[in-house]
Structure 1
Amino acid sequence: MDSSSTKRLPYHWIRQRIESLDPEKDYEEIWRLSAGYGLTAFTLNLVYAITFPNFIVTEQGSRAVWRSDGGKIVHQATQRVEQTANNNAIWWWYGPHHPLTKKSVNHINRLHDHYSKLFPGDFGHNDDYVYTLTYTAATLHRLKLRLGLPGFTDKEKKAAHLFWREMSKLFRVENRPVRDFPTDWDDLIRYNEEIEANMASGPERATLVAEGCFDQFAFRFFPPGLRWLGRSIPICLSLPTTLKACHIEPVNPILDWLITFVLGSLMWLIQTVLPDPKESYWQQQEKMSRSEKAQELASYRKIDVEFAPWFVQRHKKDTPGCPFHAALGEERMVTQPPKAFDIARGSPEKKE
Structure 2
Amino acid sequence: MEQLDPVRDHAEIIRLSISFYLSPMAVDWVFALSMPRFNIGPSGAAIFRGGKGKLLMNSDRRYDDTDDHFLVWIEYGPDSPQVKRSLDIINALHAKWSKEYPAEFDDLDLWLYVLAWEICGTSSIFTEYLGLPEPSEKEKIAKVVFGKKLAELFVYVDGRPLSEVIPASLETYEDWVAYLHEYESRPWEYNAESAACLAQVVETFEKRFPMPLPRSFVRALATSFWHDGMFGCCDIERPGRLMSWAARMFMRVGILMGRILPDPKESLTEKLRRESAETGKPLRAVLKATQVPSPSQGSTARCPMGFGG
Question: Which TM-score applies when normalising by structure 1?
Answer: 0.76
Counterpart check, 1:172 vs 2:119: no
- Identity among equivalent pairs (%): 25
Assess if the C-alpha contact under 8 Å between 2:6 and 2:141 holds in 1.
yes
Q: Which residue of 2 aligns with 1:275?
A: 262
For residues 255-284 of structure 1, the C-alpha deviation after alignment (integer angstroms, 9 at most, x for no partner) is 11111112211211211x210111111222
CA RMSD for the aligned pairs?
2.5
Counterpart Cα distance in 1 of 2:245 and 2:91: 40
Counterpart check, 1:348 vs 2:291: no
Counterpart Cα distance in 2 of 1:135 and 1:128: 10
Q: Which residue of 1 aligns with 2:205?
A: 217
Q: Which residue of 2 aligns with 1:263?
A: 251
Q: Which residue of 2 aligns with 1:227?
A: 215
Q: Which residue of 1 aligns with 2:271?
A: 284
For residues 266-314 of structure 1, the C-alpha deviation after alignment (integer angstroms, 9 at most, x for no partner) is 211211x2101111112222322296443878xxxxxxxxxxxxxxxxx
Change (3 A) 1:25 1:222: closer
Number of paired residues?
291
1:160 counterpart letter in structure 2: K
For structure 2, the residue ranges without an aligned partner over 5 or more in a row are 302-309
Change (3 A) 1:340 1:296: closer
For residues 30-58 of structure 1, the C-alpha deviation after alignment (integer angstroms, 9 at most, x for no partner) is 11112211211111111101111111211
For the residue of structure 2 that corresponds to 1:35, the secondary structure is: helix
Counterpart Cα distance in 2 of 1:124 and 1:258: 39
Q: CA deviation at 1:122?
A: 1.9
Counterpart Cα distance in 1 of 2:63 and 2:179: 26
Change (3 A) 1:268 1:291: closer
- What aligned pairs does 1:320-339 form with structure 2 within 5 A after superposition? none
Q: CA deviation at 1:340?
A: 11
1:139 counterpart letter in structure 2: G
Counterpart Cα distance in 2 of 1:286 and 1:64: 32
Counterpart check, 1:183 vs 2:171: yes
Change (3 A) 1:129 1:292: farther
Q: Which residue of 2 aligns with 1:203?
A: 191
Assess if the C-alpha contact under 8 Å between 2:115 and 2:151 holds in 1.
yes
Assess if the C-alpha contact under 8 Å between 1:130 and 1:168 holds in 2.
no
- What aligned pairs does 1:1-352 form with structure 2 within 5 A after superposition? 18-58=1-41, 60-145=42-127, 146-174=129-157, 175-178=159-162, 179-180=165-166, 182-221=170-209, 226-271=214-259, 273-287=260-274, 288-289=276-277, 292-294=280-282, 342-345=289-292, 348-349=298-299
Assess if the C-alpha contact under 8 Å between 1:199 and 1:245 holds in 2.
no
For structure 1, the residue ranges without an aligned partner over 5 or more in a row are 1-17, 298-338
For the residue of structure 2 that corresponds to 1:279, the secondary structure is: coil
Q: CA deviation at 1:113?
A: 0.8
For residues 216-254 of structure 1, the C-alpha deviation after alignment (integer angstroms, 9 at most, x for no partner) is 000122689822222221011222232334453211100
Assess if the C-alpha contact under 8 Å between 2:68 and 2:287 holds in 1.
no
